[in-house]
Amino acid sequence: MPAPLGKRILAFAMDFILLTFISILILFYLPEMLGQQTDDEFSRLSGRLIEAFEHPEPDQEHVEQVMMEFSEFSAKIHYELIVTLVFIAYFFVGEFFYDGKSIGKSTLCIKSNNFRKSGRSLPLRESALRSVIKGLSCSFALLGFANFACLLFSKQRRALHDLLSGSTCVLVAQNVKDEGSES
């Protein structure tokens, strides 16, 4: 049975919140892992950014300059690339190694599987394709909106990553033990 739209959106929201926290952790720990000089530059820029916003009426030009420097620093340490690769890896692990279930999907008892061969898990290639599209959708807003629009407006309620990878999301039967039964 196809997973309800609300469950799919909630599962993705749970995954996205988790990935947002992970990306924040990467932002704070990546400079440290890249060496003292990079960590010092990050600390200096963070301090300047905090300082710029401490004033009741921040100087817009100063804030823009600090934000530009922060953006250049982010590009220098390849932050966006690393975060995007982590997003892709997160979805791939769930798709391929956990039978089509990310943490969000598993919590809501849904999983992705093969659209053409109902009930079958996705093969490696399709799992990878689905994960790449979904990971890129988390990093790039325009692709994310296109992905969501496909989900909302397609007849079969399949997102862009579903359509391109030949997958769909379905409900999973819960394993419920009888309270009176013995193990």
pLDDT in tens, 120-176: 889 999 999 999 999 999 999 999 999 999 999 998 899 999 999 999 999 998 765
Residue 180 has pLDDT above 80, yes or no: no
| CA-closest candidate to residue 76, choices 86, 68, 64 | 68
Length of the chain, in residues: 183
Give the 3-state secondary structure of residue 59: coil
What does the pLDDT look like over 110-128, one tens digit per residue? 999 988 887 788 999 999 9
Contact 161, 134 (CB under 8 A): yes
CA of residue 119 relative to chain centroid, distance: 25
